Structure 1
């Protein structure tokens, strides 16, 4: 009995297969009408390539319409579809391209150095013994008018006595011009030896000499060098310390001699200091060395760098961007929108709702922000500016091949 049932089921299955084969080219559309389907055509889901059917329909996983496949098993379109949720997760952003301009720049590696114009060398105005140093280490910030050191000086004590004597003589003979001139000369002498107007006024007011005199900072700055110690006897003109004002620095870079034709003094340059790339500073190229190293053929160029916040320090690395011309009426893209590999450069274009495809392009000049598109795009193309690498990876994952294989540059 069992064998008989098996034979009957086999006969029914054979009749079903024969019937299907006699009508294998007949298909029904969504309205129930019979349509002709191309023999051998298979259909797959753009999002789930593992779904393959021999007739049109929808994907059982995501519900998308199936698309025809080529003989190689790939979808006929080199595109990929992502729904809105997937685009948000992949941070996909696009922009419609239009013609604009791009500034071409050459990037030079540079370094920040102190500006000697703002360096103050503190030397002893008089000979004497250093009784006290108010600043005892380098790196300390001092302000203009702040006491730096106290000195015992017989030389200065003698000058104070001469000034007080001249004042007494002037008081005794107020109408005598020569006593007035002597008092003025004694005062100027004290000023030349580093005494401030306040210190001289105090001396005149109290009429008392002081062998221990404080010397004040003539400018603000950071103590870069300290050459003296307490108790040391110093001569007139001895260097005690060096102050560097960092509110303006230099940025120095080097170029080859054959690049000089593109450089001009007073050109506007952009400086990007390491660690502060998001805060580029505009500056002026104010020095081009008139001589170059005979062995390296390198020439030093320099620009001033404003540093009012004191956030930059000498020795920090920096990039100097030199303008090398301007291209107008051109199609430009953000640098991150262009993908580069061994086959060339390409971008991703949005061709329809939730549909993207790659396109080969040729690029020209570029700077830190933009790149010139010489060939491959036209006005109005909608280009992916963020998430292009994810599209590239998704295409390789789902299609199993390089999305740019066999591509040619698109028309402008």
Structure 2
């Protein structure tokens, strides 16, 4: 009986030792993202320290092609009238002085009549003043009478000049005013003329419409030079200034890059969009650019000292940028970081590195494949 109990006790102890043995000999779990590559892979890796270099950040902002406001004319009537003829249409090229439309104006007729009356009164008072001067010299009339006739003549001169000035304000040329004074023929038709060479890009009138001097009837633009405008976010305003080099990408032209310089940076912030307007000028003598085309403006900011890594060191994992940082002899950790867009094979570090690390700059792709393989085997 004693031998049987001793055998059972011995068997129980051996069983307990067998259960504990695997637990005490198990290897510790590897830290996620850390890998110790095999010697053959290690020989393919190239390491380097993180550098600080001057790098110019390129801002990409949405914009559009727009008219050059210095080469744009909004043309209206100089007088109230009714449209009788329209001589220019959208897209038509016009020269300065080209008749765009004709109006019939009763106000013009009234002013022409006022001028003729003032001119007739001037002629009458001129003759009266000359006759009074002769009578005064003959001692027929008094000095007071002579002075009265001279004053009436001077007043008529002023009234005639005022009536002529009023006609000029209504768009009547000096030659037409002189012709009116000689012939006395009143013409109630006035013209709307182009004030510059260009293309009619807007027409805002129709036959029979009554228009006012404040109305814009035509917009004529010189399209040989255009603007590219964009809105820079408030946080990046400090990176842009007048004279900086910019590139314009126009999707309608196959994203062909057009080069220019900033000619204007706004002085105020748009309170609704929190952006600042910037503008550059583009040559358009070939006519390829059209106002209102969408465009992207790439603004090269002033170079600043930044942490920079080679683009070859970057590993994309789960939609984010990473690099392998050396943590010991033949040991690397996958480090997440934020990077600026690539420029000339380099990427500026926005966050994730402090500058004293050694990173894998060549072979990172193969190292990451090995890491993923080992993690899958471990799982």
Alpha-carbon distance in structure 1 between the residues aligned to 2:364 and 2:270: 53
Q: Which has the bigger relative contact order, CA under 8 A and spacing at least 6?
A: 2
Unpaired segments of 5 or more residues in structure 2?
A: 1-39, 46-52, 130-152, 323-338, 349-362, 369-379
In the TM superposition, residue 225 of structure 1 has moved relative to its aligned partner by 3.3
Q: Is the 8 A contact 1:291 1:299 kept in 2?
A: yes
**Could you tell me which residue of structure 1 aligns to residue 90 of structure 2?**
138
Q: Deviations over 1:335-375 (max 9, x none)?
A: 9xx89886999xxxxxxxxxxxxxxxxxx97777x44489x
Matches within 5 A, 1:92-107: 103-107=56-60
Please list the CA deviations of residues 137-185 of structure 1 after superposition, one character each: whole Å capped at 9, or x if unmatched.
Answer: 3333333211111122222022123323434444552873223222221
In structure 1, the residue matched to 2:82 is: 129
Q: 2:63, 2:228 within 8 Å by CA — same for their partners in 1? A: yes
Structure with more of its chain in helix, by fraction: 2
Match of 1:279 in 2: 258
Q: Deviations over 1:45-101 (max 9, x none)?
A: xxxxxxxxxxxxxxxxxxxxxxxxxxx9xxx999xxxxxxxxxxxxxxxxxxxxx98
**Runs of 4 or more consecutive aligned structure 1 residues displaced over 6 Å after TM superposition:** 330-333, 338-341, 364-368
Change in Cα spacing, 1:198 to 1:325, as seen in structure 2 (3 Å) is same
The 1-side partners of 2:44 and 2:270 are apart by 61
Given candidates 98, 101, 108, the residue that maps to 1:149 is 101
For 1:153 and 1:267, the matched residues in 2 are separated by 50
2:226/2:291 contact within 8 Å kept: yes
State whether residues 131 and 150 of structure 1, in contact with CA within 8 Å, keep that contact through their aligned partners in structure 2: yes
1:187 to 161, 164, 181: 164
Aligned residue in 1 for 2:111: 159
Aligned length: 264
- Return the alpha-carbon distance in structure 2 between the equivalents of residues 199 and 281 of structure 1: 47
CA, structure 1 residues 314+140, in 2 after alignment: closer, same or farther (shift >3 Å)?
same
> Among 269, 280, 286, which residue is 1:290 paired with?
269
Of 212, 215, 223, the match for 1:236: 212
The answer for the alignment partner of 1:109 in structure 2 is 62
Cα distance in 1 for residues equivalent to 2:62 and 2:212: 43
The answer (yes or no) to whether the contact 1:127–1:233 under 8 Å persists in 2 is: no
Taking a change above 3 Å as real, the CA distance of residues 132 and 205 of structure 1, as seen in their structure-2 partners, is same
Deviation at residue 320 of structure 1 after TM alignment: 1.9
Q: Distance in 2 between matches of 1:373 and 1:259?
A: 19
C-alpha distance in structure 1 between counterparts of 2:70 and 2:121, whole Å:
44
Distance 1:282 1:195 in 2: 43
TM-score for the superposition, normalised by structure 2: 0.53
What residue number does 1:55 align with? none
Report the 3-state secondary structure (helix = DSSP H, G, I; strand = E; otherwise coil) of the residue aligned with 2:57.
strand
DSSP-derived class of the 2:59 partner: strand
Deviation at 1:287, TM superposition (A): 1.3
Q: 2: distance between equivalents of 1:286 and 1:198?
A: 46
**1:238 offset after TM fit, Å?**
6.3
CA distance in 1, matches of 2:183, 2:284: 41
For 1:77 and 1:273, locate their aligned partners in 2 and report how far apart those are by CA, in whole Å. 40
Any residues of structure 2 matched to 1:344-359 within 5 Å, and which?
Answer: none
RMSD: 4.7
* Residue pair 2:234, 2:276 contacting (<8 A) in 1 also: no
